[in-house]
Each structure stands twice: as structure tokens, then as C-alpha cells.
């Protein structure tokens, strides 16, 4: 999906520290060792999710990190407000920003985007024998595309969280969501019926920033590449 972006900071500012956008939540812990191997040490309160600060300096004066929601990492980087970032392949699949280049699979944050249905409704919802379906998801684009490719018309209810509630409360017949351990599905009486895609976290960069600050941005890509090889 080609989103028209306002012509604001398109990653072209050649001064000031490089801004790296990192996701809050589960990936933050797994990212720690990769960052350390890349030689990046953010200030101590970066790891403290109760800290209200959003921007943190690092041991390198030419790099600051900002801590935002996973979906927003891609938005900050696509607009060039951050030049580099880490986000899940799920977010890149959903938005498909042309301004983002994703050179490295960091191999962390492994999970999958799946369709889940209420226990007892698995056969009815397997999709093979229906022409339309209602889906609750924070991935409306992925859900639409998935069902369109199967010739099924999907009515997608866009939620930002807690979509596991939707089938039991009559909002949808299935959900499309991230599954890691499966415990959230189990706790809410749902079963995974189809895997749409496997997901890991990617290093992403703003394409314009890579052109205008090639040594700095290219240097960070190489440091992450070396960190993965280490
Ligand atoms: C994700 C996802 C599920 C849960 C799955 O939410 O939306 O709710 O994790 O994990 P599990 O299979 O290990 O139970 P997340 O915790 O990332 O929070 P969010 O709802 O704010 O996106």
C-alpha cells in the first residue's frame, strides 16, 4: 500500500544524532544482547518500561534511541523522523511502506500471524466452505489480503488489542493476530486454525537517510550485521 507521506523530515537532515526507533514490549528484552554486541548502550532507564522518558541518549553521542509502539516504529522511520529502527515483519507486511528498507533479519521476536477461531467452531471457520467472513484484527490489511487471495470476502473489524474477546462477544467469527506461546488464545477459548506468516524482527532504515547519510546509516547496518555474525 503506497501511503502518501507528508513532506516533512524525509530522513534528509544531515545534522544531529541518528535516531533509532525501538519497540516497547516483548522485543525490548531480546533486543538487549543484539544491541550490546553492536556496541550500543542506551542510558539505564531505557530498559525501565515504567520510565516516562521516550528518548534516551546512548554511549555514542551520535546515536539516540526512542522507545515507541511497534507499529509506530515503522511510521517514525517511514517519515524520516527516525532514520533507523527495529520492528516486526508483521508491521512491514501490514503497511508496506516504500520509504523503508529492511536489510537485516535480526532473528529475534519469533512468532506468527495466525487465524484463530473459538474452540468448537474450527470446522465451520476453516474458510474452505464459505464466501464471506467477519474478522477482528489489528492487521486489517493482512487479514483482507489473506482472505481475498482465497476468494473470500472479509469484513474486518479493526481493533488495537484484546481481539481475543471479539468472537465470544459476537463482534467477529474469527481473529487474525500474533501468536507466540499460544497462551492468550487458550485463555480465551480460541484455537489457531491457520498460520498466515512467520514473523521475526527486522532492522529497518529510511531510504532517503541511507542516501544522504550513507556512512553513518550504512555504518550502523554493518554493526548490526557484525553483531548477528558474532
Ligand atoms: C500479542 C498478541 C496476543 C499475544 C500472543 O499481544 O496480540 O495478544 O501477544 O502471545 P502468546 O501467544 O504468547 O499468548 P502483545 O502482548 O504483543 O500486546 P498488544 O496486544 O498490545 O499488541
**Domain enclosing residue 52, as ranges:** 18-109+200-229
Q: Can you give the length of the chain in residues?
A: 230
Residues with CB under 6 A from ligand 1: 25-26, 161, 177-184
CA distances from 171 to 48, 119, 155, 194, 195 (A): 36, 16, 11, 20, 21
Same domain, 154 and 184: yes
Which ligand 1 atom is nearest residue 186's CA?
14
Residue 154: inside a domain, yes or no? yes
Ligand 1 geometric centre to CA of 178 (Å): 6
Q: Which pLDDT belongs to residue 153?
A: 94
Phi and psi angles of residue 60, each rounded to the nearest 5 degrees, phi first: -110, 115
Same domain, 78 and 119: no
pLDDT exceeding 90 applies to what percent of the chain? 81
CA-proximal residue: ligand 1, atom 7 (nearest): 178
Q: For 42-56, 117-131, 198-212, which range has the lowest pLDDT when averaged over its residues?
A: 117-131
pLDDT tens digits for range 93-147: 999 999 999 999 999 999 999 999 999 887 766 656 678 999 999 999 999 999 9
Predicted structure pTM score: 0.89
Which ligand 1 atom is nearest residue 25's CA?
17
pLDDT tens digits for range 173-194: 999 999 999 999 999 999 999 9
Residue 27: inside a domain, yes or no? yes
Cβ atoms of 35 and 20 within 8 Å: the answer is no
Q: Which pLDDT belongs to residue 82?
A: 98
Residue 145: inside a domain, yes or no? yes
CA distances from 187 to 17, 126, 146, 162, 174 (A): 44, 21, 25, 12, 16
Q: How buried is residue 141: exposed, middle or buried, by Cβ count under 10 Å (0-12/13-18/19+)?
A: middle
pLDDT, mean of residues 7-25: 75
Same domain, 33 and 141: no
Helix (H) or strand (E) holding 31, with range, is helix 26-37
CATH of the domain at 145: 3.40.190.10
Same domain, 166 and 119: yes
pLDDT, mean of residues 35-63: 93
Q: How buried is residue 230: exposed, middle or buried, by Cβ count under 10 Å (0-12/13-18/19+)?
A: exposed
Cβ atoms of 64 and 58 within 8 Å: the answer is yes
Residue 1: inside a domain, yes or no? no
Ligand 1 geometric centre to CA of 179 (Å): 7
Q: Which pLDDT belongs to residue 31?
A: 95
Cβ atoms of 160 and 136 within 8 Å: the answer is no
Sign of CA dihedral 19, 22, 24, 29: negative
Helix (H) or strand (E) holding 40, with range, is none
Ligand 1 geometric centre to CA of 186 (Å): 12
Same domain, 124 and 93: no
Total domains in the fold of the chain: 2
Instruction: Spell out a b/e string for 1-11, using b for 16 or more CB atoms within 10 Å of the CB, else e.
Output: eeeeeeeebbb
Q: 13 falls in which pLDDT band (50, 70, 90)?
A: low
Q: Which pLDDT belongs to residue 50?
A: 84
Same domain, 96 and 207: yes
Which residue of 136, 180, 195 sits with most ligand 1 atoms within 8 Å of its CB, as the best mutation to test the pocket? 180
CA-proximal residue: ligand 1, atom 2 (nearest): 178
pLDDT tens digits for range 79-93: 999 999 999 999 999
Ligand 1 geometric centre to CA of 154 (Å): 22
- CA 34/CA 37 separation, integer angstroms: 5
Q: 229 falls in which pLDDT band (50, 70, 90)?
A: very high
Residue 7: inside a domain, yes or no? no
- Kindly give, in sequence order, each residue whose CB lies less than 8 Å from that of residue 208, ignoring residues fewer than 6 positions away: 10, 11, 12, 80, 99
pLDDT, mean of residues 15-34: 92
Ligand 1 geometric centre to CA of 80 (Å): 28
CA 33 to chain centre: 19
Nearest Cα to Cα of residue 176 among 188, 187, 164, 168: 164
CA 215 to chain centre: 26
Amino acid at each position: 500500500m503506497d501511503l502518501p507521506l507528508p513532506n516533512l523530515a524525509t530522513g534528509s537532515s544531515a545534522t544531529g544524532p541518528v535516531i533509532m526507533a525501538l519497540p516497547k514490549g516483548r522485543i525490548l528484552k531480546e533486543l538487549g544482547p543484539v544491541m550490546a554486541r553492536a556496541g550500543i548502550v542506551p542510558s539505564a532507564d531505557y530498559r525501565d518500561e515504567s520510565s516516562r522518558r521516550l528518548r534516551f541518549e546512548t554511549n555514542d553521542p551520535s546515536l539516540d534511541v526512542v522507545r515507541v509502539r511497534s507499529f509506530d516504529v515503522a511510521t517514525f522511520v517511514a517519515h524520516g523522523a527516525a532514520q533507523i529502527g527495529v520492528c516486526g515483519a508483521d508491521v512491514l507486511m501490514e503497511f508496506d511502506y516504500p520509504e523503508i528498507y529492511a536489510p537485516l533479519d535480526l532473528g529475534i521476536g519469533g512468532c506468527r500471524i495466525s487465524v484463530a477461531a473459538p474452540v468448537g467452531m474450527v470446522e465451520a471457520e476453516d474458510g474452505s466452505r464459505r464466501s464471506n467472513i467477519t474478522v477482528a484484527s489489528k492487521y486489517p490489511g493482512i487479514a483482507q489480503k489473506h482472505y481475498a487471495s482465497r476468494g473470500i470476502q472479509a469484513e474486518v473489524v479493526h481493533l488495537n488489542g484484546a481481539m481475543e474477546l471479539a468472537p465470544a462477544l459476537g463482534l467477529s467469527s474469527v481473529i487474525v493476530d500474533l501468536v507466540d506461546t499460544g497462551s492468550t488464545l487458550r485463555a480465551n477459548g480460541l484455537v489457531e486454525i491457520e498460520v498466515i506468516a512467520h514473523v521475526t524482527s527486522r532492522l529497518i532504515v529510511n531510504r532517503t537517510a541511507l542516501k544522504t547519510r550513507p556512512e553513518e546509516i550504512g555504518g550502523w547496518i554493518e554493526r548490526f550485521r557484525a553483531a548477528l555474525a558474532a
